[in-house]
Amino acid sequence: MLRGQELPELVRLGVSMEEKQFLEVCANEFRFLKDEYGLTETSTQSHPLFLTVTFWGRGVAVQVVWETRERMLLVSIGPCLNGKITPQGTSLGNILALRARELVEPPRLIEQSFTDSDMRDQLSRFAHDMRTHAADVLNGDFHVLGAVEFRRPLLRPFARGMRDLDGKETYDLMVRLGEISPGDIFVMSPADKQYIFGKVIRTDAEVLQHKGLVLVYVYDDIRSDMADMPTLSKENLLLPPLITSRVQWQFGYFKAVTNAGLTVGDTLSVHCFRDSSGVYHDEYNHVLADRSEPCGIYGVFSHGDFDNLLRDKLGIADRPSPTLLQRILSLSFLRHQ
């Protein structure tokens, strides 16, 4: 790890051209952190699966992560300790969910897969949203982090070791390691003893130039017992078809339970997704002449996006805002810095 250097200096290291581009764009788009907020220190960390840039100073840190395998950009902000964000930090998406909810609706995702051509645009948007909606955090006012903490995610990851329908955990473990197949049935859990079922339809979907994505159906039948699997019909979808990545299984937000295979009757004849300009696409990036229902949103959905969609669809309100005492207790660690 290198500290106290300008990012343009870092691009001289032995990294790939894509990594150099990422570092250069970070240096340019987030330069305002140094010029306007005094985050004068920078550090970078390279890993086979991700590249991290951290801007820090005056007790505040901003972390930008490029997850190279899934090609995802993640931006976090929070208190700084020894050049790192403390556990009380949060993603920029969580702050926007409280203050500018419309900005976290797909296709403009906070954790969105990207191509080389729009890397600069994505990071520019993140920088703009941070300046607009997180200026107080950049100035060292962390009260909003208490509110974020009390807006706990709706979906919670399943722990490894939970049993499958047949009493084994081998199928879920295999899927977590990347062996996702059409016909895989999975569950999400928005609350204790509540299970929403979904099915993998395609594992070769595409969005822009990003390939190998997963098209899923989510069904409108909530059960209190994971073993009580409902009839999964394309006529009974809770949400329009959605495209996501394997991260949801790897992190445990989706738990694979079995593979039921696919028949012609299991799938819609056309999968339709509308992009931000009003153009309709199928799951392979082909432009469609007309809209076909149910029509989804053209983009790659993270677990946070599933969380927001389910919260809206099921009518689950956010938890009440924390009291002043709760905020003080949740941020009490600051007294010791």
Return d(Cα 6, Cα 59) in angstroms, integer. 19
Measure CA of the first residue to CA of the last residue in the chain; give whole Å.
23
pLDDT tens-place string over residues 250-294: 777 888 888 899 988 999 999 999 987 889 999 999 999 999 999
Q: How confident is the model at residue 175 (pLDDT cuts 50, 70, 90)?
A: low
**What is the per-residue pLDDT across 49-74, written as a single tens digit (0 to 9) for each?**
678 899 999 899 999 988 776 667 88
Give the C-alpha distances (Å, rounded to integers) separating 104 from 223, 306, 318, 332. 28, 11, 16, 29
The mean pLDDT value for 65-87 works out to 81
Name which residue leads in pLDDT, 100 or 43: 43
What integer pLDDT is reported at residue 280 of this predicted model? 94
- Helix or strand run (H / E) with residue 29: helix 17-29
Residue whose token pair is 């797909």: 106
Contact 309, 319 (CB under 8 A): no
The predicted pLDDT at position 302 comes to 78
At 227-256, the pLDDT tens digits run 888 999 999 999 999 999 887 887 778 888
Distance, CA of 171 to CA of 173 (rounded, Å)? 5
Give 182 or 112, the one with higher predicted confidence: 182
What does the block give as tokens for 331?
Answer: 């941020």
Q: Is the pLDDT of residue 170 over 60?
A: no
pLDDT at 102: 62
The C-alpha atoms of residue 150 and residue 134 are separated, in whole angstroms, by 18
Distance CA 176, CA 292 (A): 32
Per-residue confidence (pLDDT) for residue 269, from 0 to 100: 95
Return the residue matching tokens 């305002």: 32
Q: Global pTM?
A: 0.58
How does the average pLDDT of the chain come out, rounded? 77
Q: Choose from 98-112, 127-141, 320-334 the range with maximum mean pLDDT.
A: 127-141
Mean pLDDT of 293-309: 84
Q: Which residue has the higher pLDDT, 126 or 171?
A: 126
* Alpha-carbon span 337 to 327, nearest angstrom: 17
Residues 274, 295: contact at Cβ < 8 Å? yes
Percent of the chain with pLDDT over 70: 71
Q: Looking at per-residue confidence, does 336 or 137 come out higher?
A: 137
- What pLDDT was estimated at residue 47? 75
114 or 88, higher pLDDT: 88
- Which of these, 300, 322, 324, lies nearest to 247 by C-alpha position? 300
